[in-house]
Structures are given as structure tokens and as C-alpha cells.
Chain A
Amino acid sequence: MIKKLLYVLLTALVITSCKSGGDRSTQTDFEVPDSIMSEGMEISEETMQNIVQNISSPVEMAALIKELGVPYSSKYLSSTARVEELSTTFKQSLNLGIFGADLGYLNMYNKTSAVIDYISAIKTLADEIKVGQFFDFTTLKRLATNNQNLDSLMYISVHSFNQMDKYLHSNNRSNLSALIVTGVWIEGLYLGTQVAKETTNDMLAERIGEQKLTLNELILILEVYKKDKQYAKLIDDLQLIKDQYQNVNIKTIKGEPEMIEENGVLTIIQNDKSMVEISPEQINKIISTTEEVRNRLISL
């Protein structure tokens, strides 16, 4: 009886092992929990969350590009074809952010047929890093396919990303959130700089220049995990972009805020003004370095 039981258990063990081996392999070379941080870099979870909240949304750059009247172009987007090859949590998280920014761009232009590809890629990567529960693929796909309720599609996409980010923080996995945020940011900057390559616009130039602030915050977050070689390499890449921002100046003129109420809507007008000093040469260098770094990241 015991012998039979042992055979059953052994067979089950073999089957389980074979099944695991047959699945798409996910190397766990990057399961670095938050407890493993660089020495001397003790940042509380609250501080980490505050820093990450600072990073702008994946749809803001896309919204600006659209409002500037720039037509849609699929050439700016990262291809989803390699999604199955992304085998480490590092690559999966980073590309999840990149695809998230692309999804924001597609949603902004109502390109619902392409949206499905990106939702699918995001769902695959999110499942791999165990946050797939925040993406209701069926509903998102239905909304995209019907080409209706585009507001809902946008809301659910952005909300799902926010939910996922909160979950990662509350589960001691801020390291992955940092990568996702980096992916979102680099792709947003790439979109903006690619448009700037073809269109001269002061507002866009200013928005690109302002990214100096966000980049400093991002590097600060990533440095917490620089003990890991992949993080260290990513910081080096971002440092290349930071170098191009060295002489970009952001100045502020002080002013008192005004409050007006019109038709029952309260509006606050800020009279502090920030101004970015950035030359065409500096923009060109930021464009080429961003292109180089982003293309390297998507081909990791």
C-alpha cells in the first residue's frame, strides 16, 4: 500500500516537473525583493511611493502630441512581436511599462485594432510577474473590438496600471514598479523626441526639457537597487540621457495664485511660472541619445 502510494507520489512529482519544464521559462534571476537594497540607501516605503507618484502618467505625453495636431504614426511604437522572448522579470517589467506608454498613445488616437495587440502583450507580461489579475483582458478586448466606450477603454487601461503599481508597492515589490515606471517614462520621452525630430514646437521642446526633473527622480529610485547588475546597467543608460540634460536650465518666476469661480466651477490659476532654457542642439542630442537607449532597452 505504502509502495503504491510512493509510486503515485513519484509519478506526480515527475509529471509536475515535466510540466514546469515545458512552460515558457521565466528565469528568476531578478527576484530581488525590496529588502535587498544598496548599502546606505535606506528609503522608507512611504518615501518610495511618494517618489514614484511623482512620475507623470503614460498618457500625458501622448495627449500633448495629439493636441499639437501631430498625426498618428505606428513607427514610434515598440513591436509586441518579441513579447514571448522576454524571459526575465527585469525585461518583463521594463517592457510592460514601455507597452503601457504605447497603449496610452494608441488609446489617445483611438487605434483600437492595434490596441488589442498591446493589451495582449501587457496581459502576458503582467501574468508573468504575477499582476495579471489587474488586467481584464476579455473586457478590454471587447471594448477595443466594438470600437465603443473608448472613454471606458482609456479609464480601465490607466486604472489597471495604477492598481498594479499600488499592489506591487504594498507587496514589497517596488523594485518591479520602478522598472515599469522607467519603461513608461523612457517610451514617453521617446514618443516626444521622435515627434520633435520631425516637428518644431516650443511647447514640445519645453516638455522634453522638463523631463530633466523626472529623470533625476527616476535615477534616485533605481539607485536603491543598483546592487543588481541589470539595474546598474539601466542607471548607466539613463545617465547617458542625463548627461545631455546637464546644461538644460529650468527657472521659476514667482507669482500669487488666483482663484475664480465661473458657472459653478472653481478654477485655480497659478502665477508661478517655470521656464525651460533648451537649445536646438541640446534637443538634438537628447533625441539621439534617447533613441539609442530606448532601442537598446527594447532589444534586451
Chain B
Amino acid sequence: MKNIAVILLFFALSCPFSTRAQDISQLTAQCAANAGEVMYLKDFIVKLDAGTPGGAPPTARFALLLSKSVVYRLSICTAPNSEGEAVLQLFDMNTLLGSTFITATGKEFPFFDFKCQKTGVYHVFISFKEGKAGEGVGVLSYVKKL
């Protein structure tokens, strides 16, 4: 119910802005609400063009500081007009920690939880499957302390 209230409120609040900004604001609010009973911290908005055939998919990268003994939730939402499906990955240096899309099984998740044990700088990567063009929002939320 609270989540619906957040979405409705944002529909109302977004009125003065442009259509695109409004759509993104709504998508962000919706994505934050879909994350469940957690506390929104940050969002990562991406709009990527299609990649070249055979090349690496275009990727947006965001650095963020996460704290030890906190459970974070990382969610991903794809804008309705996108050609591709957005995928969010969390990296610690060059190590992939988690992803909303598990390549080996083909399983997709709207979010994943990260039990952080090390305070430091991490990177969120957002791309679109098969390097397709698309627009999406990643959301970082605070779940609880460990």
C-alpha cells in the first residue's frame, strides 16, 4: 500500500517536468517501490545505444561506497520502450559479486541482496542483454544491519 502511495505521489510530483524526465522519475519511484520494505538510497539512471555486432555491450558504470555489516538491495528496472532487458552487476575491483541475470542458468531476478562485509568502493555496471539499446534504472536500497 505504501509502495503504491510512493508511485502515485511521484506521478503527481513529476507533472512540471518534461515527459522523459517524468517517465524516468516514475520508473525510479516504481523501481524503489518494487524493492519492497527497504529504504531507498540511490538510483542509477542509464540510457544506452545499441552496441556494435560482435563487440562488448555498452555499459554504464557507477562507483559507490558500501559499508560493512549492512545488507543492501540492488534492483533493476527496464523502461517500457527499451529494446533490450537491463542487467545490473555489482563488482568489487575486478571480481563480479552479483548480477540480476545469471548467465549459466538464464535466470533473471528483479533484485538481489548483498551482505556487505567490507567497507569500500564498489562498482555497479548496467548494460542491456545482447548489447541492445535501452533505458533503465538501478536502485540501491538499505535493507538492515547484519
Contact = CB atoms under 8 A, between A and B. Distances in A.
A165 to B, nearest CB: 10
Contacts of B62: 50, 53
Interface in B89-116: 90, 92, 95, 97-98, 109, 111-116
A273 interface: yes
B64 A54 contact: yes
A16 interface: no
A99 to B, nearest CB: 18
Interface stretch (B34-42, B47-55, B77-85, B126-134): B34-42
Contacts of B40: 154-155, 158-159
B69 A203 contact: yes
A151 B8 CA distance: 13
Nearest to B142: A63
Contacts of B16: 133
Nearest to B69: A203
Nearest to B13: A136
Interface string B40-71: 11110000000000000000011111011110
A271 B117 contact: yes
B113 A266 contact: yes
A158 B109 contact: no
Interface of A: 50-51, 53-57, 59-60, 63-64, 67, 133, 136, 139, 149, 151-152, 154-156, 158-159, 162, 203, 206-207, 210, 213-214, 217, 250, 252, 257, 259, 265-274
Interface of B: 2-3, 5-6, 9, 12-13, 16, 28-29, 32, 39-43, 61-65, 67-70, 90, 92, 95, 97-98, 109, 111-121, 142, 144-145
Given A63-B145, A207-B68, 19 more contacts: A53-B62, A54-B65, A55-B65, A60-B142, A64-B145, A149-B5, A151-B2, A152-B5, A155-B40, A159-B28, A159-B29, A213-B121, A257-B98, A259-B98, A266-B109, A266-B112, A267-B113, A270-B97, A270-B117
13 contacts: A151-B2, A152-B6, A158-B41, A159-B43, A203-B69, A213-B119, A267-B112, A268-B98, A268-B113, A268-B114, A270-B114, A270-B118, A274-B119
